[in-house]
Amino acid sequence: MKIINNSVVVMHYAVSDSEGTLIDSSYDHKPMSIIQGTGYLIPGLEDALIDHQTGDQFEVAVSCAQAYGERHDDYVQTVPKELLQGVEELTVGTQLRAATDDGEQTVIVIDVTDDEVTVDGNHPLSGLDLRFDVEILAVRAATKEELKHGHIHSDGESCGGTSD
């Protein structure tokens, strides 16, 4: 069966930057399962899955605009440390939820000094052109229940949600 909208796709992927440096790979853990067309994947990768089928292995080059977007320098902000009182751990790499003009957003601490903290609201992969190596392990049609819930039920069982 070929992948179309509302297919459940089980896949392995490895993602690298344009220089070939490995960023992440599902081969290190378990395959990823998605419902095609729900926007779970970045647009450039989701589009590339269409019409592929079980057993296919292929490469997808995704420009940053079709991946995690351009970097915005103005998403980097330095704030006084006292604004973050109550945050237990404040080290480089700490992720925080921050209220911004666009709503709540995840920011990452990229610098800490004695009295200031610099946070970056860009996605860590923004500004990068990416390359995916994809292997399609299984394709099936999503059940009505899965589409209604917007997530996958393993082995076709129900998730115990109230609307089952």
Instruction: Give least dist CB 30 to Zn ion, A.
Output: 19
Helical (H) or strand (E) element with 148: helix 144-149
CA nearest neighbour of 41 among 71, 67, 20, 3:
67
With binding defined as CB under 5 A, does residue 150 bind Zn ion? no
Complex with Zn ion: residue 6 or 54, whichever CB lies closer:
6
- Residues 155, 158, 159: CA angle, nearest 5 degrees: 105
Q: What's the CA gap between 116 and 158, in Å, rounded?
A: 49
Helical (H) or strand (E) element with 130: strand 130-141
Complex with Zn ion: residue 120 or 146, whichever CB lies closer:
146
Complex with Zn ion: residue 1 or 159, whichever CB lies closer:
159
Among 39, 80, 156, 161, which residue sits at the site for Zn ion (rule: CB under 5 A)? 161
Give SS3 for 140: strand
Give SS3 for 119: strand
Instruction: Give least dist CB 156 to Zn ion, A.
Output: 11
Query: Of the ranges 66-74, 121-129, 134-142, 153-161, which one interacts with Zn ion (CB under 5 A)?
Result: 153-161
Instruction: Give least dist CB 81 to Zn ion, A.
Output: 43
Restricting to residues 120-149, which ones interact with Zn ion according to CB under 5 A?
Answer: 149
Positions touching Zn ion (CB under 5 A) are 149, 159, 161
